A and B are shown apart, each in its own frame.
Chain A
Amino acid sequence: MSDPPGPPAERGMFPKEAYLSAEIVRTPLRAAASREIAFDRAFVTALEAELSMAYRLAGYLMADSAEAQDAVQEASVRAWRAWKDLRERDRFHAWFSQILVNVCRTRLRQLSKRRTLDVDDMDLETGDPFRASLARDSVGRALSALSNELRMVVVLRYWGELSLAEIADRLKIPIGTVKSRHHAALKVLRRRIEPVEGVAR
């Protein structure tokens, strides 16, 4: 995992404080930090390591950088609140991505009530990096047109580089469902791409 570029360290108590800029998280973070610095640093250090990958996953899940930032922040807030109840600190990575996926799923559901993610509707002029990335060829366009359920599996599989078992764990669904969704997703993608690129059977 590459070091995530972030704000300069002198800007806040913690390098990544910028990502937790909402008052609701900053206040308890600071309050707690003044008493239990070790505890807090552990959380911040653990979270720091996740942010880049989390942003990438959320970005491709939501196909929107602003939504992705919100999702990462919300996941951070929730993680912080549940942090004291987390027994196995070494499982932070899996735990945090579970929270993130949950947040994204909820947000996608809310978003889908308001708009559909369709590459044709995407306006590249807004310059959203994720949209731009997805819109660069037919595979990306086909990906953005997948249903939320299928796209989650695909994004976790290929961007998150998770095994099917890990995906099942993150999404809290049976592995059989993951397999069938994965398969269905590939099938849909193929059907969409074939007329364009003539992928051989």
Chain B
Amino acid sequence: MNRLEPVDDSDVEMDRLVREFARDSRTPPLPDETAALPWTVQRESPSAGPFSLATGWRAVEGLRRAAFSFVRLGATLAVAGTFLLVVSHTRTGGAGSDYIITPQITARPSGVIAAPDAPKVYVVKANGVVDDVMADYVSGAVRRAEVDGASAVIIQLDTLGGSESSMLRIDAALHSKIPTIVWVGPSGAKAASAGTFITLSANLAYMATSTNIGAASPVAAGGGDIAATYGQTEADKVMNDAIATIRGIAQERHPDAVAWAVSTVEHAQSYTAQEAISAKAVNAIAGSIDEVLAQADGLTVTTTSGQVVVNTKGATTINVSEDVIQSFLHTLDDPNIAFILLVMGVLFVAVEFFHPTLLMGLLGAISLALSFYGSGSLPLNVLGVFLVVLGIGMLILETTIPSHGLLTVGGIAVFVVGGVAYYGSPGPYLPTVAVAWPIILVMTTAAAAYGLLLVGTLMRMRHQPVPVGAGLVGIDKVVGLVGEVRADLSPVGTVYVGRESWSARSRDGSEIERDAKVRIVGQEGLTLIVEKMA
């Protein structure tokens, strides 16, 4: 529209017409019977100005509700956490725990027919993160092998590392009355970080070809990442402790292996099987359990019951596996699963917070507890966790604070950075792990969609204007709707419709009893005219 366009004749004419119309308009008087007016309106727009008693009260009420939600959430978390602690504690540690294990004894499908009095050898597969579950079942299996009179126990090891305390428990278990053998295999397996300590702890150690032992991955000398996280002093302390530990363990194996063992910790060196054998840290290459049995036979080792000659020739091998709960708990150590559980837990808790149902809170609390249980043996980076939670928080806030997508973009960025930095870098025991990229992408999408859709819907539901007072006055608003009789129409009573109670009478003057469904067909002043529905 061109504002410079001259006002033409017809505009002048129109101007006059409207002016006259306005002048002749009757302005109705302001109503003076306030009692009769439907305007006891308590509604206020959310952006209603500065502080007042009303906003003050709302703030107090909001705080009260927030506090209540927090308490409730805290209680939920506490219950779930306690439950989990109890479950995990009954499985780990404690005197009797070694006997919880029920080895699933399966005869190895081997062509060799063992002689009736052939020696028995227990084989324990120790894969994944070195955690309390692994410690449990390795020590359980060793104890079981002792009790059953097995001639040796073989730990088939493949790990990137784990927690120090679990490693120490396994180390203790491997000092047994019967010979203990660690076999790093099959090909491609690793005995990294804590795995190195375990390998050196056993009486005998064998590695398959193409296996590695030593640091999980080469990092800066001096374990630079611990220094970055905890400061140099703490890093030195951790490092010195680890060196002292491995020195002690290696000394038992072979004095020549000590310098080599120290280098795996101090310089984060990783070695091939051949290099480990040259350093006298590992006995020999063994491609399979059978080769281990063959090579170990006849060697003399020192067990807690003294010098023992290993008798494994033609031994029957008995596999010991984890039970269901153990393998479930062990699965939680997967870096990806721990990450997914954390994200899911935070999302569930967020929903619980906005829309308390207890169920979501419980699910969230359990997810979080499982996640933290799982990452107990992983190099969790507190900053990464914080960023992930912050990112989700930003995504959810987007639905309540208008930021024109800024919070969403920022939230996604923060979340991704958090996902990448979720695991920090390890000390001498912990595995070097990271959340897989596809997982980060999927969880980012999920968190964003979840934040925007689900929580957004909940917030919209909450912010939906409730039609009150004048908002509903007007025949067009309720006529045609269906209401419910709240007080008998005899002939005038009350009908609840459109979230309000109205005076109402039936169209034909007939009585309509309470709870009947009625259709609003008209209105007379503030009284609705209704018809009973068939």
Q: Which residues of A contact B (CB under 8 A)?
A: 4-7, 18-19, 21-24, 27-28, 31, 51-52, 55-56, 59-60, 64-67, 69-70, 73-74, 77-78, 81-82, 85, 106, 110, 115, 121, 123, 125-126, 129-130, 133, 137, 139-140, 143, 154, 158-159, 176-177, 179-181, 183-184, 186-187, 189-190, 193, 199-201
Known: A69-B37, A201-B10. A159 touches B25 (CB 8 A): yes
In the bound complex, how far is the Cα of B37 from the Cα of A18, in angstroms? Answer: 11
- The answer, among A67, A159, A181, for a CB contact under 8 Å with B22, is A159
- The answer, among B14, B30, B474, for a CB contact under 8 Å with A190, is B14
Considering only CB atoms, which chain A residue lies closest to B7 in the complex?
A183
How many whole Å from B23's CB to the nearest CB in chain A?
A: 8
Q: Which residues of B contact A (CB under 8 A)?
A: 1-3, 5, 7, 9-11, 13-15, 17-19, 21-22, 25-32, 34, 37-42, 44-45, 48-50, 52-54, 465, 469-470, 473-476, 523
Considering only CB atoms, which chain A residue lies closest to B54 in the complex?
A24
- The answer, among B14, B37, B475, for a CB contact under 8 Å with A189, is B14
* CB neighbours of A55 from chain B (8 A): 27, 30
Q: Sample 14 A-B pairs with CB under 8 A, ordered by A number.
A: A7-B32, A21-B34, A28-B53, A65-B31, A73-B39, A85-B50, A110-B465, A125-B475, A158-B18, A177-B3, A181-B1, A183-B1, A186-B14, A201-B9
In the bound complex, how far is the Cα of B1 from the Cα of A27, in angstroms? Answer: 49
Inter-chain contact A186/B42, CB cutoff 8 Å = no
* CB neighbours of A137 from chain B (8 A): 21
Inter-chain contact A187/B29, CB cutoff 8 Å = no
Considering only CB atoms, which chain B residue lies closest to A137 in the complex?
B21
- The answer, among A176, A183, A193, for a CB contact under 8 Å with B17, is A193
Known: A24-B53, A154-B18. A180 touches B1 (CB 8 A): yes
Considering only CB atoms, which chain B residue lies closest to A16 in the complex?
B30
* CB neighbours of B13 from chain A (8 A): 190, 199-200
Inter-chain contact B32/A5, CB cutoff 8 Å = yes
Task: Report which residue of A51, A129, A200 has the largest number of chain B beta carbons within 10 angstroms of its beta carbon.
Answer: A129
How many whole Å from A137's CB to the nearest CB in chain B?
A: 7
Inter-chain contact A78/B473, CB cutoff 8 Å = no
Q: Besides the contacts A7-B34, A139-B18, A200-B10, what 10 more A-B pairs have beta carbons closer than 8 Å?
A: A5-B30, A18-B32, A19-B34, A24-B52, A64-B474, A65-B31, A77-B48, A139-B21, A159-B25, A199-B17
Q: Which 3 A-B pairs have the closest CB atoms?
A: A129-B28, A158-B22, A180-B1
* CB neighbours of B42 from chain A (8 A): 22-24
* CB neighbours of A180 from chain B (8 A): 1-3
Inter-chain contact B3/A176, CB cutoff 8 Å = yes
* CB neighbours of B25 from chain A (8 A): 60, 133, 140, 159
Known: A183-B3, A186-B14. A69 touches B26 (CB 8 A): no
Interface majority SS (helix, strand, loop, mixed), chain A: helix
Considering only CB atoms, which chain B residue lies closest to A160 in the complex?
B22
Task: Report which residue of B19, B27, B48 has the largest number of chain A beta carbons within 10 angstroms of its beta carbon.
Answer: B27
* CB neighbours of B31 from chain A (8 A): 65, 69
* CB neighbours of A18 from chain B (8 A): 32, 34
How many whole Å from A189's CB to the nearest CB in chain B?
A: 6
* CB neighbours of A158 from chain B (8 A): 18-19, 21-22
Inter-chain contact B14/A6, CB cutoff 8 Å = no
How many whole Å from A24's CB to the nearest CB in chain B?
A: 4
How many whole Å from A37's CB to the nearest CB in chain B?
A: 19
Known: A21-B40, A66-B39, A139-B18. A183 touches B50 (CB 8 A): no
Known: A24-B54, A82-B50. A69 touches B470 (CB 8 A): yes
* CB neighbours of A121 from chain B (8 A): 476
- The answer, among B15, B30, B34, B37, for a CB contact under 8 Å with A52, is B30
How many whole Å from B432's CB to the nearest CB in chain A?
A: 56
Task: Report which residue of B15, B38, B49 has the largest number of chain A beta carbons within 10 angstroms of its beta carbon.
Answer: B49
Inter-chain contact A6/B30, CB cutoff 8 Å = yes
In the bound complex, how far is the Cα of B39 from the Cα of A65, in angstroms? Answer: 11
Known: A110-B465, A180-B3. A59 touches B28 (CB 8 A): yes
* CB neighbours of A73 from chain B (8 A): 39, 41
How many whole Å from B41's CB to the nearest CB in chain A?
A: 6
Known: A28-B52, A81-B50, A81-B52. A22 touches B32 (CB 8 A): no
Task: Report which residue of A115, A123, A158 has the largest number of chain B beta carbons within 10 angstroms of its beta carbon.
Answer: A158
In the bound complex, how far is the Cα of B6 from the Cα of A111, in angstroms? Answer: 35
In the bound complex, how far is the Cα of B50 from the Cα of A22, in angstroms? Answer: 18
* CB neighbours of A70 from chain B (8 A): 39, 41, 469-470
* CB neighbours of A130 from chain B (8 A): 28
How many whole Å from B127's CB to the nearest CB in chain A?
A: 60
In the bound complex, how far is the Cα of B307 from the Cα of A106, in angstroms? Answer: 92
Considering only CB atoms, which chain B residue lies closest to A78 in the complex?
B49
* CB neighbours of A133 from chain B (8 A): 25-26, 28
How many whole Å from B463's CB to the nearest CB in chain A?
A: 12
Known: A158-B18, A159-B22. A66 touches B470 (CB 8 A): yes
* CB neighbours of A199 from chain B (8 A): 10, 13-14, 17
* CB neighbours of B476 from chain A (8 A): 115, 121, 123
* CB neighbours of A21 from chain B (8 A): 34, 39-40
* CB neighbours of A81 from chain B (8 A): 48-50, 52
In the bound complex, how far is the Cα of B27 from the Cα of A159, in angstroms? Answer: 10
Considering only CB atoms, which chain B residue lies closest to A65 in the complex?
B28
Considering only CB atoms, which chain B residue lies closest to A20 in the complex?
B34
In the bound complex, how far is the Cα of B54 from the Cα of A65, in angstroms? Answer: 26
In the bound complex, how far is the Cα of B52 from the Cα of A46, in angstroms? Answer: 21
In the bound complex, how far is the Cα of B30 from the Cα of A59, in angstroms? Answer: 10
In the bound complex, how far is the Cα of B79 from the Cα of A61, in angstroms? Answer: 58
In the bound complex, how far is the Cα of B10 from the Cα of A189, in angstroms? Answer: 11
How many whole Å from B156's CB to the nearest CB in chain A?
A: 68
Inter-chain contact A59/B27, CB cutoff 8 Å = yes
In the bound complex, how far is the Cα of B45 from the Cα of A140, in angstroms? Answer: 30
Inter-chain contact B41/A19, CB cutoff 8 Å = no
In the bound complex, how far is the Cα of B523 from the Cα of A126, in angstroms? Answer: 9
In the bound complex, how far is the Cα of B33 from the Cα of A133, in angstroms? Answer: 21
* CB neighbours of B10 from chain A (8 A): 190, 199-201
Inter-chain contact B49/A139, CB cutoff 8 Å = no
How many whole Å from A156's CB to the nearest CB in chain B?
A: 11
How many whole Å from A173's CB to the nearest CB in chain B?
A: 12
